[in-house]
């Protein structure tokens, strides 16, 4: 005789955190499921990685892309800043530095969605009046208790009126991205779809124009007045694949973001190195450096 189902037998129910807390519009792009404080300026954030994703899972569904780890860590820092440091939802975040190292062998896709824990420690917390103005945090990403990534992140945040002054009247509705140039073949940058290629051929074997498709549902999950950092990191990833040594793929990024990357001016991506394990990628716009990123690679 079948016994009545007990409460302990019932599956645990998990939902994502409110998408506004991680600056996402789509629930499908919201990776976090909860958080708790573990000490002074210390927090644990739970997440779930889907077994299939339009961009951050390999085309054969066998491995998570390290940039999914980057996005998870970014969301975790944003969530804690809003919930534990009382930063209003209308404040804008400005990424200054993002350094992350992943262990590729631990990013395989299993029979169930992975549920990593992100352990955060906030340091160098700065205030403007009573509001948090910026901070640095370290992150350790654990999967089934094993570390799969470490990161160090620095950012500032500004109130909406200050942001509007910084942007000089630029808004998602007032700025139009330049026309999309033709992209490289998808298989050259380990992407399945032409729409996911972010580099266009340019003069020289180590120089490309950035393709900014504001209709892309992952990079532009919601309208923006500038090129997002995740798109710049994807450009670094693709450049490293093109210039890197055969049989190696990106597993680490150390990015510095120097200024806003504008939508309506061409951005040029240049890469150096690649004969060893690291590739240096620089993005320029006009006469200014937008970002630079050292990409570390490992054998596939």
For CATH 3.10.129.10, the residue range(s) in the chain are: 13-160, 169-299
Closest CA to 212 of 267, 280, 288: 267
Work out the average pLDDT over 147-167. 95
Q: Which of 15-24, 172-181, 270-279 has the lowest mean pLDDT?
A: 270-279
Q: What is the pLDDT of residue 13?
A: 60
The sheet carrying 117-128 orders its strands as: 32-39, 42-47, 117-128, 131-143, 146-158, 92-102, 248-257, 288-299, 278-285, 268-273, 207-210, 199-201
> Taking a C-beta distance cutoff of 8 angstroms, is the pair 99, 151 a contact?
yes
Angle at 218 between CA 213 and CA 222, to 5 degrees: 80
pLDDT at 274 over 70: no
Work out the average pLDDT over 234-260. 92
CATH architecture group of domain 13-160: Roll (3.10)
Give, as one character, the DSSP assignment of residue 111.
S
pTM, two decimals, is 0.93
Higher-pLDDT residue of 1 and 265 is 265
Work out the average pLDDT over 16-41. 96
Residue 272: pLDDT band by 50, 70, 90 thresholds? confident
Tell me whether strands 248-257 and 207-210 are parallel, antiparallel or unpaired: unpaired
Residue corresponding to tokens 């910026």: 134
pLDDT at 59 over 80: yes
Pick the CATH number of 169-299 from 3.50.50.60, 2.60.120.10, 3.20.20.60, 3.10.129.10: 3.10.129.10
Distance CA 106, CA 69 (A): 12
Work out the average pLDDT over 240-260. 91
Closest CA to 247 of 190, 192, 194: 190
The pLDDT > 70 percentage for the chain reads 95
Residue corresponding to tokens 């519009």: 25
Q: Measured between alpha carbons, how far is residue 168 from residues 20, 195, 226 in Å?
A: 25, 31, 12
Average pLDDT value for the chain: 92
Q: What is the pLDDT of residues 117-131, one digit of tens each?
A: 999 999 999 998 888
């Amino acid at each position: 005789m079948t016994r009545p189902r007990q409460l302990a037998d019932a599956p645990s129910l998990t939902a994502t955190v409110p998408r506004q807390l991680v600056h996402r519009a789509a629930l499908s792009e919201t990776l976090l499921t909860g958080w708790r404080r573990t000490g002074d300026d210390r927090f644990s954030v739970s997440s779930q990685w889907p077994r299939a994703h339009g961009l951050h899972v390999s085309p054969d569904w066998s491995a998570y892309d390290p940039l999914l780890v980057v996005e998870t860590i970014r969301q975790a820092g944003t969530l804690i800043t809003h919930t534990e440091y009382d930063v209003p939802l209308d404040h804008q975040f400005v990424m200054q530095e993002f350094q992350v190292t992943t262990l590729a062998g631990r990013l395989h896709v299993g029979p169930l969605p992975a549920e990593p824990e992100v352990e955060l420690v906030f340091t160098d917390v700065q205030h403007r009046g009573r509001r948090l103005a910026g901070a640095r945090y370290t992150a350790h990403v654990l999967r089934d208790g094993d570390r799969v990534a470490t990161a160090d992140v620095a950012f500032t945040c500004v109130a909406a009126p200050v942001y509007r002054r910084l942007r000089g009247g630029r808004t998602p509705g007032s700025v139009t991205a330049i026309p999309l140039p033709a992209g490289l073949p998808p298989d050259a940058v380990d992407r399945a779809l032409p729409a996911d290629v972010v580099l266009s051929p340019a003069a020289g074997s180590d120089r490309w124009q950035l393709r900014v498709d504001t209709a892309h549902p992952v990079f532009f999950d919601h309208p923006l007045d500038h090129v997002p950092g995740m798109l710049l990191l994807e450009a670094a990833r693709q450049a490293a694949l093109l210039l890197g040594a055969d049989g190696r793929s990106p597993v680490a990024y150390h990015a510095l973001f120097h200024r806003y990357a504008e939508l309506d001016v061409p951005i040029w991506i240049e890469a150096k190195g690649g004969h060893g394990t690291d590739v240096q990628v620089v993005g320029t716009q006009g006469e200014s450096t937008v970002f630079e990123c050292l990409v570390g690679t490992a054998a596939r």
